[in-house]
């Protein structure tokens, strides 16, 4: 089982005893299981399953290591620039996941026919309708084993985003917790039934 999980809370950032300076905070955890879908194996490793964007934004990943390696390597300071926020990074990760899924689907279903996603669209009119429908369904149904969390604290707000295996971005900030991975459903169930499932003052 693999799981990445995060929960928001309120933290006292003041270092002096008796003084308070409350602000948003997120605590996140990730297992160390690495999955190589190509080899069909999962194993415990020492590699960090994520990427720190800056001191306030973190990306955590779950699923196929090779897919995430490709996606995370495209998240560079040049791609987001000096001024960024958590939502911008979440949308960027979503686009990268969707692009990766499309490229993999095209290589799997279109390349054997000498096509790519662009030529498939341009040549649909001259192709047999049944073949077009079948290829379109295969492309749409193609699954990749990828999920991401994009977490950030900015000013007076915390941000929790989940990116699914199609690149869809959902905002869990108001819920206050989010989990991904094969154990994600169990983690979310715990948060929902826990008496501490609200944002807590410490």
Please tell me the predicted confidence (pLDDT) of residue 4.
87
Phi-psi group of 160: left, alpha or beta (phi > 0 → left; psi -120 to 50 → alpha; rest → beta): beta
Strands (E) located in 31-156: 33-36, 41-44, 50-52, 57-63, 146-154
Q: What is the phi/psi pair of residue 121, to 5°?
A: -65, -45
As a whole number, mean pLDDT of residues 171-180 equals 91
Model confidence at 127: pLDDT above 70: yes
Please tell me the predicted confidence (pLDDT) of residue 59.
93
- Alpha-carbon gap, residue 149 to 59, rounded angstroms: 6
Q: Cα 193 from chain centroid? A: 24
Please tell me the predicted confidence (pLDDT) of residue 84.
82
Q: List, for residues 148-162, the tens digit of each pLDDT value.
A: 999 998 877 899 999
Question: Percent of the chain having pLDDT more than 70?
Answer: 85
Q: Are 44 and 74 in contact (CB under 8 A)?
A: no
Q: List, for residues 77-110, the tens digit of each pLDDT value.
A: 777 766 688 999 999 999 999 999 999 999 999 9
Per-residue pLDDT band at 201 (split at 50, 70, 90): very low
Torsion from C-alpha of 12, 17, 20, 24, nearest 10 degrees: -10
As a whole number, mean pLDDT of residues 26-35 equals 80
Please tell me the predicted confidence (pLDDT) of residue 191.
73
As a whole number, mean pLDDT of residues 128-138 equals 93
pTM of the model: 0.82
Q: List, for residues 32-79, the tens digit of each pLDDT value.
A: 776 666 656 565 666 778 888 888 899 998 888 788 888 888 887 777
Q: In this predicted model, which residue has the larger pLDDT, 2 or 122?
A: 122
Per-residue pLDDT band at 132 (split at 50, 70, 90): very high
Please, which residues bridge with residue 152 across strands? Answer: 57, 159
Question: 89 Cβ partners below 8 Å, 6+ apart?
Answer: 53, 57, 59, 75, 80, 150, 152
Q: Are 77 and 20 in contact (CB under 8 A)?
A: no
- Alpha-carbon gap, residue 12 to 74, rounded angstroms: 35
Helix, strand and coil content of the chain, in percent to the nearest 5, comes to: 35, 30, 35
Please tell me the predicted confidence (pLDDT) of residue 154.
82
């Amino acid at each position: 089982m693999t799981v990445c999980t995060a929960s928001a809370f309120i933290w006292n950032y003041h270092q002096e005893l008796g003084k308070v300076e409350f602000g948003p905070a997120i605590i996140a955890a990730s297992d160390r299981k690495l999955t190589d879908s190509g080899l069909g194996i999962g194993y415990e490793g020492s590699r960090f399953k994520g990427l720190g964007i800056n001191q306030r934004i973190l990306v955590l990943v779950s699923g196929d290591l090779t897919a995430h390696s490709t996606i995370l390597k495209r998240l560079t300071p040049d791609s987001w620039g000096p001024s960024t926020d958590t939502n911008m990074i979440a949308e960027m990760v979503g686009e990268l996941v969707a692009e990766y899924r499309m490229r993999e689907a095209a290589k799997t279903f279109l390349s054997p026919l000498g096509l790519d996603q662009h030529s498939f669209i341009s040549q649909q009119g001259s192709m047999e309708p049944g073949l077009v429908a079948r290829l379109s369904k295969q492309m749409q149904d193609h699954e990749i084993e990828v999920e991401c969390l994009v977490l950030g604290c900015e000013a007076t707000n915390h941000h929790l985003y989940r990116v699914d295996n199609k690149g869809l971005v959902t905002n869990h900030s108001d819920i206050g917790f989010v989990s991904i991975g094969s154990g994600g459903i169990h983690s979310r169930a715990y948060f929902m039934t826990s008496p501490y499932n609200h944002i807590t003052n410490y």
